[in-house]
Amino acid sequence: MFLYLKGLGKFRKSKAYGLVGCLALVSMIGLSIPDLPVVGGRTVYADVIQGGDDIKDVSVHEKSAEGVAMTYTTYDSGTSGKQTASGSGVFVAPNVMVTVAHNYYDKNQENKSAVLRGGESARSYVVMNSETEKNNKVPTSGVSEALEKDSIHLYNGNDFGKDYSNDLAVVVTKKPVEAMTGGEDSPRELSHKEVSTGDKITMVGYPNDFSTPNLSEENKKRLKDGKAYSVSTTVSSVNKESGAVTYHSSALGGFSGAPLFNDKGDVVGIHQHGTNTSNAPESERIGGGTIFTEKHRAWIRSMIDKYGIKGWYIDGANRYYYDENHRALKDVEYEIDGALYRFDEKGRATLVKGEEKGRVLLRVEDTKGTPLISDKVVQEGPVGSGLNFHLRQNPDFKQLIATSPTAKVVSYNGVSVNKLVSDTSWSDEYVSKLALGNTIIKAVVDSVNPSSTSSSDFARTEVGKVDLSGKSNLPMPSKEVLQAPNGSENFYATTHIQTPDGSGSGTLIAPNLVLTVAHNFLTVKGSEVVTKSGRTNTVYKATLPNGLSVHFSDDDIVYWNKKDSVFGFKNDLALVRLKEDFKAVSPVEVVSESTSIAKGEKVSVYGFPDGRLSPVLDSEVVDTTDFGSGIEGISYEGTKPGASGGGLYNDKGTLIGVHQNGVVGSRSGGLVLSKEQLDWVRSYIEGKPKEPVYVRDEVLVDEKDKDKLPSTPKDEKQSTPKIESDKDKVEPPLKPQKEPETEVITTYEGDSTLEVGKERTEDTKGEKEGVPLIYRVVYKGTKPKVEKESIAFDTLYQGDETKELGFRSVVEGKGGVVTRTTTYQVDKYTGAVSSQVSEKKIAPQSKVITLGIKPNSVIKELPITERFEDSEELEKGKTEVVSEGYVGKEVTKVTYKVLADGKIVENSRTVEVTPMRERVVLKGVKEVVSSTEENSSNLKEEVVSPDKVEFLVPKDAPIREELPASSEEFSESEVLVSGEKIPGDLGILIVSSKELVPERVEVPDFVAKVTGGEKLTVEGHRDERKIKTPSKQERLSSPETTAQFTTNGTGSSSLTAVFGVEADNMSLSTVEHSVITYNQQRGWHKINNQWYFRNSDGKERTGWMKENDAWYYFDANGIMQTGWIQDTDGNWYYLKDNGMMEVGWFQDSSGAWYYLGSSGSMESNTWIYYKGKWYYIDAFGKLLFNSLTPDGYRVNEYGEWIN
């Protein structure tokens, strides 16, 4: 229960979210801990001051709202159904948004860690520039992007619920903010300025809860869920250590995650909660959040460095470029890869001059995401040039797997492989063309043991000179490292030391001084200590995590005790003196006084195991060893070869020694610097080198052996000699002789009958060259530890399509067990105890419930319809049945599926239609012609004058004929200038019917062709004048064809064309010619709104036809088909409204997507690879969205396979 504290407020539950407001988090996930500065109780309210008048309208297109985003999540909440949680955030890099963790996560009540709200049902989104009211809690404007769950990164997920300073998250989007907003927005800057009480701050966000009674009626009407608003106020209090801040302002639900801007508009923190109450005085209503501390900023910067976009980003026709600081180039000319680009004020690039370049990079990672080959360039060249890459043939990849015969490729370019590299049954080929910027070829591998060094990296720069070239992919500290004491400083001062035969580690303890171990450079040959290279002028390379490197030689190394350095551990210490300073990195803090570390204390190691910077944090000391001379060794776990020489730190993050080795089964530990060693190291740090001071080891003898050693007699004072008898004579005492000291030689062994932590000792006496010896064997407990953990079985639901709905059968499950056995090993010489854990698992057997999901089918008959057609061969009043027709059938089939929770839902609904065939009847329209009419038709009208044409029979009204298109042809016309062409448009030709004309009119040899297709082309041979043609109209969507007109007889007439759909009549020409007749031989014809195609023999086309590179299909009656059709082999095709066969992607009227292959056949039950992504087509030919494929892969809401 929350306690009520005056001025800190109450909390209110929300209907949809659980709890709203900025303080929705407190009541919902229980952030009620004592060290929180603001904790309320009872009912929670997200409240206002001044009736909400301080909440100001903001235009998302203004500078004040730049980079500010809305974020919302939909999820299932059990019996409450689908819920929506909404908050705010701000972009601090092109694709990196800062917000609060509680916008997505709840708190685990037991350990206060973060738990994803809604689990697998959660779907989260980021929205830019929403500026209208939501509809059913969903934005109605702006640009939305769906988030992957792994794109949300928490600052401190383990301690999320312990303190508001941990309520911080970063969201990484696929699109940068410029692409989301068309270049209108840019990310905001993180401020480094300290915030103090009284400073002005402004938050901008998307509030969504306006139910508080203190909100005025006017503001209730004004404020809309889905629009952005701002609140300006001043800081009331701020905790400089944790960042906790309070301020007197309105704080409504939905503002959670809203940025806090300073007076310069830079981001100083985020808004998290409100602790208001409707009953408290207005002066005591406050809101709260977190001002970013240096730790917060360092973590955010690390996220930007790791995930922020650099280089080109292509968004359709718009191209953006981001520099090394993750900032888009805007309003500037800039040269990239030898080509000059102009970037406008919105960051959109235009090529000014030069050739655009692209490159292909190879990225190989292990299954944990650790880079093995980091973006190695495999090809670069002009954009559009060909690429044919084979992974197995790449020299870097071949070297990577050279010593790993069992290396396995898990995935390749997002496609699951899970086969050995050597298995040629999977294709390693990548064929493409170079695109602008970088194209990544990514492979994920397993069971690879990469070599840590390459000799080719040597002698690139002069010895002693810092190499500033750096690397493109540098190690970045993890969240855990950044939160560790001095974590960032220790990380960036850790040095990778490369030698000809391997690699080690070191620590920068001064700008020109690296502390490491001697065995990185030395070894034993016979009885001599020599360099591992066998030379005296070996060149080595030291590299920092920031990419800076320097070469050094044997002359630059000084040793604590070179001759004994590789015997045991106590003398394994060295310093590397660099000839040039590393100026960009701060050296670590070295302990001021020698310290002793006890068993059970925590230490950390920073080094490069396996050639990769991988700190081991808070490792528990499992044993200590006194090496004598004040030198102490400690043992711990978690390190690997390659970290030798790395820094050894105490729990305060201060350097106390060096890590020496991490060999499994042997000593894993390091050296704690003694007083003398520390003095020696510090003398070099201070620039006043001193010689090492060695302390002699004392021989230690157990108490039980002291009485066995000879004693030294006390000096005696000699007396005056006197004569005595032989029996009384006392021989003068001999001069005391110093007896040899006893040496104890200790070795260690394991005893599997003793518990770990216990030990027993056995001593055996001996002698060597007159020196008494005690051979002591210390047996340490190594009794294995066995732990068993039960595994509960789960419940699986499955469907059976052979069983009716309602059927149910159950196969009971069985629990499993995991047996973990810890075995221990003892180092023979140091007594260090190391452990190894093996695990044996008996998998549980699932409880299987089978449910009946037999499909249902419903059949509906389609009755026959009757169609009449005019026949000029039948006399009026007569009819003739051409086809009787038959009844059609519509079959609706419904299938079902079983969800993971056992619910049965509809899976698909398909409708198969067997079309009805019409009953076709011919109707006579032939007129009965009398003998009188026949005679009159043969009469000819006399010509009144040469300039006038008279007709004996009045011409009929024009016949309107729609003209489909055909290919371009040419004709001659005396009306045109020689060589002139007239571009044409789809049109409708109106031609007069047949007419009689006088015979004396001369007809030129003229053939005109009018086409409704792409071009109307008429070439002339006269130069007197030109013809004006109408402008090109919108192309009609009906099928295209050609109409031809020929001449015969004599006479004159006009040819009138109607272009487009607006009946724009224009006379093209008037020529003397005979009666114009329609050529019925070959071409398209439209009869009763049905399209036909007539062959040259006058017959209608049936079946498939290819015309002008397009395919059409005609039924048995010659009617052109549209929509879905199925051939005799069961293949489905789709014909567009103009009859052309569809190819490629196609979306029908219901919104479903299909893919039609190059033959036009619909694909089904298969994967489609399109523009670098994989899509799945289900059994019904539909593109699958947001679901699992039958083979268990998941596709997102765009249909893309989620890798």
Q: What is the mean pLDDT of residues 1185-1192?
A: 85
Rounded to an integer, what distance in angstroms lies between the CA atom of residue 274 and that of residue 262?
20
Q: What is the reported pLDDT for 478?
A: 87
Task: For residue range 530-570, list pLDDT tens digits in order.
Answer: 888 777 778 888 999 988 889 898 889 999 988 888 766 78
Walk across the sheet containing 833-842 and list its strands.
785-791, 816-826, 833-842
Q: Residue 392 half-sphere exposure, CB side, CA atoms within 13 Å? A: 13
Q: What is the reported pLDDT for 259?
A: 98
Q: What is the reported pLDDT for 656?
A: 94
Q: What is the mean pLDDT of residues 610-627?
A: 85
Q: What is the mean pLDDT of residues 289-310?
A: 88
Q: What is the reported pLDDT for 213?
A: 86
Rounded to an integer, what distance in angstroms lies between the CA atom of residue 693 and that of residue 398?
50
**With contact defined as beta carbons under 8 Å apart, do 122 and 74 qualify?**
yes
Position 948 pLDDT exceeds 80:
no
Q: What is the reported pLDDT for 219?
A: 93
Local confidence band at 697 (pLDDT 50, 70, 90 cut-offs): low
- The CATH code for residues 455-685 is 2.40.10.120
Position 492 pLDDT exceeds 70:
yes
Burial 1085-1120 (b: 16+ CB within 10 A, else e): bbeeeebbbbeeeeeebbeeeebeeebbbbeeebbb
Q: What is the reported pLDDT for 144?
A: 93
**With contact defined as beta carbons under 8 Å apart, do 173 and 147 qualify?**
yes
Local confidence band at 81 (pLDDT 50, 70, 90 cut-offs): confident
Task: For residue range 304-313, list pLDDT tens digits in order.
Answer: 988 899 899 9
Q: What is the reported pLDDT for 769?
A: 60
Position 738 pLDDT exceeds 80:
no
Rounded to an integer, what distance in angstroms lies between the CA atom of residue 654 and that of residue 588?
8
**Is residue 827 packed enough to be buried (19+ CB in 10 Å), middle (13-18) or exposed (0-12)?**
buried
Question: Which position has the higher pLDDT, 727 or 1114?
Answer: 1114
Judged by average pLDDT, the poorest of 12-26, 431-445, 464-478, 780-794 is: 12-26
Contacts of 317 (CB under 8 A, 6+ apart): none
Give the number of other CB atoms < 10 A from CB of residue 305: 15
Q: What is the reported pLDDT for 768?
A: 62
Local confidence band at 1148 (pLDDT 50, 70, 90 cut-offs): confident
Task: For residue range 975-1008, list pLDDT tens digits in order.
Answer: 444 444 454 444 434 333 333 333 333 333 333 3
Q: What is the reported pLDDT for 767?
A: 72
Local confidence band at 741 (pLDDT 50, 70, 90 cut-offs): low
Phi-psi map region of 600: left, alpha, beta (phi>0 left; psi -120 to 50 alpha): left
Measured distance between the N- and C-terminal CA atoms of the chain, rounded to whole angstroms: 44
Q: What is the mean pLDDT of residues 232-244?
A: 92
Q: What is the mean pLDDT of residues 924-936?
A: 60
Question: Which position has the higher pLDDT, 628 or 452?
Answer: 628
Question: Which position has the higher pLDDT, 755 or 945?
Answer: 755
- The CATH code for residues 785-852 is 2.20.230.10
Task: List C-alpha distances in Å: 86 to 99, 103, 124, 133.
Answer: 12, 7, 9, 14
What token pair was written down for 1111? Answer: 């395919």
Task: For residue range 203-216, list pLDDT tens digits in order.
Answer: 999 999 888 888 99
**With contact defined as beta carbons under 8 Å apart, do 201 and 194 qualify?**
no
Q: What is the mean pLDDT of residues 287-293?
A: 92
Q: Residue 777 half-sphere exposure, CB side, CA atoms within 13 Å? A: 8
Rounded to an integer, what distance in angstroms lies between the CA atom of residue 325 and that of residue 859?
66
- The CATH code for residues 1090-1195 is 2.10.270.10
Position 952 pLDDT exceeds 80:
no
The three-state secondary structure class of 405 is coil
Local confidence band at 178 (pLDDT 50, 70, 90 cut-offs): very high
Walk across the sheet containing 96-99 and list its strands.
143-147, 123-128, 68-76, 82-93, 96-99, 169-172, 152-154
What token pair was written down for 1168? Answer: 């489609």
Using alpha carbons, select from 532, 547, 534, 530 the residue that is nearest to residue 502: 532
Q: What is the reported pLDDT for 163?
A: 86
* pTM of the model as a whole: 0.42
Local confidence band at 1037 (pLDDT 50, 70, 90 cut-offs): very low
Rounded to an integer, what distance in angstroms lies between the CA atom of residue 1056 and that of residue 1065?
7
Supply the mean pLDDT for the chain. Answer: 77
What token pair was written down for 683? Answer: 């003398």
Question: Which position has the higher pLDDT, 625 or 648?
Answer: 648
Strands (E), 295-370: 311-315, 318-322, 332-336, 339-343, 349-353, 357-366
Position 166 pLDDT exceeds 80:
yes
Task: For residue range 316-361, list pLDDT tens digits in order.
Answer: 889 999 987 889 999 999 999 889 999 999 999 999 999 999 989 8
Q: What is the reported pLDDT for 535?
A: 73
Using alpha carbons, select from 855, 852, 853 the residue that is nearest to residue 893: 855
Alpha carbon 1157 to chain centroid, angstroms: 30
**With contact defined as beta carbons under 8 Å apart, do 22 and 287 qualify?**
yes
856-925 has the same fold as 785-852 = yes
Question: Which position has the higher pLDDT, 871 or 1011?
Answer: 871
Rounded to an integer, what distance in angstroms lies between the CA atom of residue 550 and that of residue 508?
12
The three-state secondary structure class of 149 is helix
Q: Which own/partner pairs from 614-621 qualify as long-range (CB within 8 Å, at least 24 positions apart)?
A: 614/643, 615/481, 615/484, 615/487, 615/490, 615/491, 615/494, 616/643, 617/480, 617/481, 617/484, 617/487, 618/484, 618/651, 621/597
Q: What is the reported pLDDT for 294?
A: 82
* CATH code matching the domain that covers 856-925, chosen among 2.20.230.10, 3.40.50.800, 3.40.50.10490, 1.20.810.10: 2.20.230.10
The three-state secondary structure class of 295 is helix
* CATH code matching the domain that covers 311-354, chosen among 1.10.260.40, 2.10.270.10, 3.30.2320.50, 1.10.1040.10: 2.10.270.10
Position 1142 pLDDT exceeds 60:
yes
Length of the chain: 1203
Q: What is the reported pLDDT for 445?
A: 93
Task: For residue range 247-268, list pLDDT tens digits in order.
Answer: 999 888 899 999 999 999 999 9
Phi-psi map region of 186: left, alpha, beta (phi>0 left; psi -120 to 50 alpha): beta
Q: What is the reported pLDDT for 502?
A: 75
Q: What is the reported pLDDT for 23?
A: 34
Domain ranges of the chain: 13-305, 311-354, 359-451, 455-685, 743-781, 785-852, 856-925, 943-1079, 1090-1195
**Domain spanning 13-305: which CATH class is it, in words?**
mainly beta
